[in-house]
Amino acid sequence: MNIYLKLILTYLKLGIFGFGGGYAMLSLIQQEVVQRHGWISLAEFTDIVAISQMTPGPIGINSATYIGYTVPGGSILGAVAATVAVVVPPYILMLYASHFVRRHQESPIIKGVFMGLRPVMVGLIASAALLLMNKDNFGSEMSECIKSISICLITFFFAYFTKVHPIILIIVAGIAGYFLF
């Protein structure tokens, strides 16, 4: 199949099932672009997440643009195709289904569906984190692993317990990486 068609179909799918925001979308994106299509490695996927965090704009758009361009056979046109594809399904839903959702916000269908989705979203984010905890990101040698785990734990502490901005945390981790590895 043509790479553009593949990009469009993949990102349409991500647009349709991308519930729960950026982080929850990560495991879906990972499943499609790393696992299914092998367009990029897990380490490269992690780099894209890092780049997304450091640049303005939502992660869903950033990843579509970046992958559409860098995928083998990709180009500016690929970036446009993937970016448009990830936006179109929710766009249509927003225009046509939003009236329905607003009118039926208290209905058992809507209430029930979102009640069921909420714990799943937490699981999706957790799975993205689990999938990224491997030797691609943490290194295969003991000494490398220990340094990586230390960076991870310290970053987690600041990310969860303080209000330090993620960009600062990434920059500091990058500087640490420069001296440690």
Partner 1 sequence: MQNIYLRLFFIFFKIGAFTFGGGWAMIALIQKEVVDKHGWVTKEEFVDMLAVAQSLPGILAVNFSVAIGDRLRGFKGSLVAALGTILPSFIIILAIAMFLTPDTIKNNETLNSIFKGIRPAVVALIVAPVFSTAKTAKINAKTVAIPIAVALLIFSGIPYVSNPIVYIILGGVGGYVYHVWSLGNKAKKGNEERKLK
CB of 1 to partner 1, least distance (A): 19
Map the footprint of partner 1 across residues 37-56, applying CB under 8 A.
40-41, 43-44, 46-47, 49-56
Map the footprint of partner 1 across residues 127-146, applying CB under 8 A.
127-133, 136-139, 144
Indicate whether 26 belongs to the interface with partner 1 (CB under 8 A).
yes
Map the footprint of partner 1 across residues 143-172, applying CB under 8 A.
144, 148-149, 151-156, 159-160, 165-167, 169-170, 172
Pick 5 or 177: Cβ nearer partner 1: 177
Determine which residue in the list 2, 6, 87, 142 makes contact with partner 1, applying CB under 8 A: 87
Count of beta carbons in the 10 Å neighbourhood of residue 5? 10
Count of beta carbons in the 10 Å neighbourhood of residue 166? 13
The whole-angstrom separation of Cα 15 and Cα 116 is: 20
Helix axis angle, 59-70 relative to 42-54, nearest 10°? Answer: 130
CB-hemisphere CA count at 13 Å for 168? 8
Helix axis angle, 59-70 relative to 76-96, nearest 10°? Answer: 150
The whole-angstrom separation of Cα 40 and Cα 44 is: 6
Pick 5 or 58: Cβ nearer partner 1: 58
CB of 37 to partner 1, least distance (A): 14
CB of 5 to partner 1, least distance (A): 20
Contact 59, 163 (CB under 8 A): no
Determine which residue in the list 110, 142, 143, 163 makes contact with partner 1, applying CB under 8 A: 110
Indicate whether 86 belongs to the interface with partner 1 (CB under 8 A).
yes
